[in-house]
């Protein structure tokens, strides 16, 4: 919960801000105007000292104006980063209210200022976009703790000063050239690779806030009314999302509940109202509350607190859009947009124009998150876990997404831009090489024929199927249609999509995975209870069996879409043989229903199971005789085998797919399928990476389904591979006592001249 804030007494901030604005509008040199500002603030706060410090690009804090200290210290007194009480305020990002300044451990004595006789100290940061760009200080001789109203007033003044500095109202552009108002230097951030590729473009902030055009209110009552109406509109929208009457693409039920809780929070509303009462416009009030939240909990290590900050950021952004009247309008993108966000749901990404979206940078997330999977499916380079990203980038900044090295370049230097453009050209040339291999069969040097299939989930994926050279769609994720809809898709909508996919694939064939919902994929229009361990909870086929009407409707749509053509259906996360029996019985029931009504059954019906739960690995003797095929979902199988949540960045990369235990499990599955004559494929992310695909082929797998971008590199690897030599080399590695044999497999591939 947020700490309650006292109600601000209406005792002068609004008048004070008007005096400051009038003073800055007067003629005269800049330094004289700054001197007038600190005199006005000192008089209003009944302070003997008022000083303004601004942060240089070097990180040093420089005294820019003072009333009460030695004027000769202006532009002379400079504090190193973190030095003194001013440095401490910059570090913590919140006010410092002291009875006796000299007794604080961070106090730094600067004799040139003449501050010896002053004991009471109150300093507040000048916050802009959650970043401290300076500090505003008042001091008095008498030892005292400033009242809460004083702290509140000074924070309001500091916010307005920060905006005036940024707008050039306090200082000229020449005087501001070394003041770090917003990040402007080139920066390189190291993160985690979520989706391969390179992109250079301009930053677009996800849910970018509407800038506050005016800071000071002309009519406080009118601003209060605007704020109240916008908050009411926001609350109604969020309530509608929860109830399913309106749609928001992508966010989970839990996030929506958090939105509703925060939107109805009296504390949040009181903070906004207090800011408006002090003389700010409604937009400026939102920005002030946002800066307090960022400064207060933005650096928290606790993941729960950080998630609450993410919710508050989105809530404040959404409120600003309601204030501007753009609450429901879609974002427009430039032609070379790089989307920047703290985190995204899979459907959030689908809201944007795919033709203009060139890259994605995330502050949080996981390579196994569904947003990352969608980015790979859409061939959008993505780098995540970029700490402090949102506070380091501004809308419109030139940025580079380097999905090869898992790096982001913010405001890159010209030489870096030249380098990245050259690398993009090299990748284009490699794509041209892969394009030439499109119609070449994927056959190893010793004659093993490998089927390369494509993972899909969107109707537009069918457009690139011919370009990839894939031999079919080995996994079509049907849940994406549900996640991008405002309400449960009707039978006709489902049937039409499946018909379109089957027609687009033609003779190549499609394997449809039934709804894999639950866990981190929760629909905004369904009622779902919070689960302690959602990845282990009510999801996938479990949900379908408990809600047979939902699953039967989908099966009926699939059978109707087939229209007498072959149909392959696959059930996800089967953990027990009885679950597959029950699911297959529903398929048989729907086929019989169609036949009774004179509708054509599929020309050939194949029903399979995904092997993702380790329990099935040791019950394949009972499962395989019931199936027409099986597919190994390596993403979930890995997380369940190692008890490591693939959505948790602390553990998602802790265990390797190329570890002896995991490779042994994969071999056991393949051997059991070979013994029973059951077709088996791999459709996890592992199949689309050349080195991992090399290991799968060595284990005996000959059907691999992967993101479209993986087909060319994997085919190139296959054409250079001697499968029997790979098998012999890998067999000895499975007995290794190491936690991973990735390096050894790489060495094996080099030894037998595999092109990775």
Any idea what DSSP says for residue 464? G
pLDDT confidence of residue 138: 95
pLDDT along the chain (756 residues), means of 10: 34 64 69 86 90 83 92 91 90 90 91 90 83 89 89 85 69 55 72 89 74 66 85 76 41 46 72 82 80 59 46 70 64 86 66 84 76 76 87 84 90 87 83 85 95 83 81 88 71 90 91 79 56 70 86 94 94 94 95 93 95 94 96 92 78 85 96 95 90 97 91 93 96 91 95 91
Q: How far apart are CA 470 and CA 439, in angstroms?
A: 9
Nearest CA-CA partner of 645 in 385, 255, 366, 301:
366
CATH value at residue 358: 3.50.30.10
Predicted local confidence at residue 246, as pLDDT = 37
pLDDT value, residue 365: 78
Residue 471's alpha-carbon distances to 5, 342, 561, 695, in angstroms, are 63, 37, 21, 21
Which residue bears the tokens 């809201």?
351
- Same domain as 224, residue 204: no
Q: Is residue 597 part of a domain?
A: no
Query: 366 and 247: one domain?
Result: no
Range of the domain at 343: 187-208+331-428
Longest dimension (CA), the chain: 97
- Residue 115 belongs to a domain with what CATH number? 3.30.450.40
How far apart are alpha carbons 665 and 616 in whole angstroms? 11
By the 8 A CB rule, do 608 and 628 touch? yes
Query: Torsions phi, psi of 663, nearest 5?
Result: -65, -35
DSSP-derived letter for residue 170 is S
Q: Please state the domain count of the chain.
A: 3
Structure confidence at residue 254 (pLDDT): 40
Q: What's the pLDDT at 553?
A: 92
Q: Is 397 contained in some domain?
A: yes
Q: Domain for residue 98, yes or no?
A: yes
Does any domain span residue 39? yes
- C-alpha span between 661 and 82 (Å, rounded): 49
Shared-domain flag, residues 257 and 404: no
What are the tens digits of pLDDT across the range 476-513? 988 877 765 656 788 998 999 899 999 989 899 999 99
CB 215 within 8 A of CB 281: yes
Summarize pLDDT for 42-51 with one digit per residue, the tens: 988 889 999 9
The verdict on residue 155 lying in a domain is yes
Beta-carbon contacts of residue 505 (< 8 Å; ≥ 6 apart): 462, 465, 472, 473
Instruction: State whether 379 and 422 are in the same domain.
Output: yes
Listed in order, strand segments (DSSP E) in 171-243 are 187-190, 192-195, 198-205
Are 233 and 172 members of one domain? no
CB burial readout 392-401, b (16+ within 10 A) else e: bbbeebbbbb
Tell me the pairing of strands 61-67 and 49-55: antiparallel
Count Cβ atoms within 10 A of the Cβ of residue 228 and give its class: 0-12 exposed, 13-18 middle, 19 or more buried: middle
What pLDDT does 679 receive? 96
* Domain shared by 191 and 336, yes or no: yes
29 CB-contact burial (10 Å; exposed 0-12 / middle 13-18 / buried 19+): exposed
Same domain, 343 and 403: yes
Specify whether 279 is located in the same domain as 410: no
Q: Return d(Cα 379, Cα 540) in angstroms, integer.
A: 26
Note whether residue 558 is domain-resident.
no
Please report the DSSP string for 390-413 in residue order: HHH--TT-EEEEETTTTEEEES--
CA distance 745 to 696: 11
Do 161 and 132 belong together in one domain?
A: yes
pLDDT, position 677: 95
The pLDDT value recorded for residue 294 is: 63
Co-location of 272 and 232 in the same domain: yes
Q: Do 315 and 406 reside in the same domain of the chain? A: no
Q: What is the pLDDT of residue 370?
A: 61
């Amino acid at each position: 919960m947020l700490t309650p804030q006292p109600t601000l007494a209406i005792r002068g901030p609004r008048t004070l801000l008007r005096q400051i604005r009038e003073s800055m509008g007067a003629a005269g040199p800049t330094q004289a105007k700054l001197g007038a500002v600190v005199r006005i603030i000192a008089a209003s706060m009944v302070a003997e000292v008022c000083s303004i410090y601004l942060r240089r690009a070097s990180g040093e804090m420089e005294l820019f104006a003072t009333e009460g200290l030695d004027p000769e210290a202006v532009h002379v007194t400079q504090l190193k980063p973190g030095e003194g009480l001013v440095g401490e305020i910059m570090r913590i990002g919140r006010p410092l209210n002291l009875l006796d300044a000299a007794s604080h451990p961070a106090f730094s004595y600067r004799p040139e200022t003449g501050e010896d006789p002053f004991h009471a100290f109150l300093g507040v940061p000048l916050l802009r976009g959650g970043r401290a760009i300076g500090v505003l200080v008042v001091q008095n001789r008498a030892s005292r703790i400033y009242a809460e109203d004083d702290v509140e007033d000074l924070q309001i003044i500091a916010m307005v000063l920060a905006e005036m500095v940024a707008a050039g109202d306090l200082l000229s552009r020449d005087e501001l050239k070394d003041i770090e108002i917003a990040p402007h230097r080139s920066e390189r951030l190291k993160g985690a690779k979520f989706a391969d590729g390179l992109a250079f473009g301009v930053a677009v902030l996800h849910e970018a806030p509407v800038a506050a055009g005016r800071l000071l209110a002309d009519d406080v009552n009118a601003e209060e009314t605007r704020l109240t109406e916008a908050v009411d509109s926001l609350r109604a929208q969020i309530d509608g999302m929860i109830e399913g009457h309106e749609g928001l693409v992508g966010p989970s039920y839990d996030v929506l509940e958090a939105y509703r809780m925060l939107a109805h929070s009296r504390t949040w509303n009181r903070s906004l109202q207090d800011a408006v009462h002090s003389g700010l416009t409604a937009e400026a009030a939102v920005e002030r509350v946002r800066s307090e939240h960022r400064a207060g909990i933005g650096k928290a290590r606790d993941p729960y607190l950080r998630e609450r900050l993410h919710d508050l950021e989105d809530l404040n952004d959404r409120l600003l859009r309601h204030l501007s009247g753009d609450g429901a309008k879609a974002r427009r993108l430039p032609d070379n947009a790089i989307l920047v966000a703290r985190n995204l749901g899979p459907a959030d990404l689908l809201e944007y124009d795919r033709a203009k979206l060139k890259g994605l940078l995330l502050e949080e997330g996981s390579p196994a998150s569904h947003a990352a999977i969608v980015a790979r499916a859409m061939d959008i380079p993505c780098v995540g876990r970029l700490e402090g990203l949102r506070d380091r980038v501004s809308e419109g900044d030139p940025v580079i997404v380097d999905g090869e090295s898992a790096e982001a370049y913010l405001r890159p230097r010209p030489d870096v831009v030249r380098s990245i453009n050259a690398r993009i050209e090299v990748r284009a040339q490699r794509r041209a090489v892969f394009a030439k291999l499109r119609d070449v069969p994927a056959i190893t040097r010793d004659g093993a024929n490998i089927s390369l299939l494509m993972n899909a989930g969107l109707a537009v994926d069918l457009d690139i199927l011919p370009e990839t050279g894939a031999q079919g769609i080995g996994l079509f994720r049907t849940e994406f249609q549900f996640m991008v809809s405002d309400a449960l898709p009707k039978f006709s909508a489902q049937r039409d999509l499946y018909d379109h996919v089957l027609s687009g694939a033609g003779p190549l064939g499609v394997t449809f995975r039934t709804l894999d919902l639950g866990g981190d994929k929760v629909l905004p229009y369904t009622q779902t209870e919070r689960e302690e361990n959602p990845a282990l909870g009510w999801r996938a086929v479990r949900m379908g069996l408990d809600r047979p009407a939902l699953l039967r409707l989908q099966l009926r749509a699939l059978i109707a879409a087939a229209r007498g053509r072959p149909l392959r259906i696959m059930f996800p996360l089967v953990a027990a043989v009885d679950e597959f029996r029950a699911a297959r019985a529903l398929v048989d029931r729907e086929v019989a229903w169609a036949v009774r009504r004179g509708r054509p059954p599929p020309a050939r019906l194949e029903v399979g199971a995904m092997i993702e739960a380790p329990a099935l690995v040791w019950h394949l003797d009972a499962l395989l005789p019931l199936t027409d095929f099986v597919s190994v979902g390596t993403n979930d199988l890995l997380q369940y085998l190692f008890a490591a949540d693939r959505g948790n960045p602390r553990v998602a990369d802790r265990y390797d797919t190329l570890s002896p235990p995991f490779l042994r499990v994969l071999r056991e599955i393949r051997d059991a399928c070979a013994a029973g004559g059951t077709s088996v494929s791999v459709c996890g992310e592992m199949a689309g990476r050349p080195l991992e695909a090399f290991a799968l082929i060595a284990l005996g797998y000959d059907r691999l389904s992967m993101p479209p971008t993986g087909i060319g590199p994997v085919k190139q690897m296959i054409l250079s591979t001697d499968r029997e030599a790979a098998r012999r080399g890998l067999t000895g590695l499975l007995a290794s006592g190491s936690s991973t044999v990735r390096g050894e497999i790489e060495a094996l591939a080099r030894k037998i001249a595999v092109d990775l």
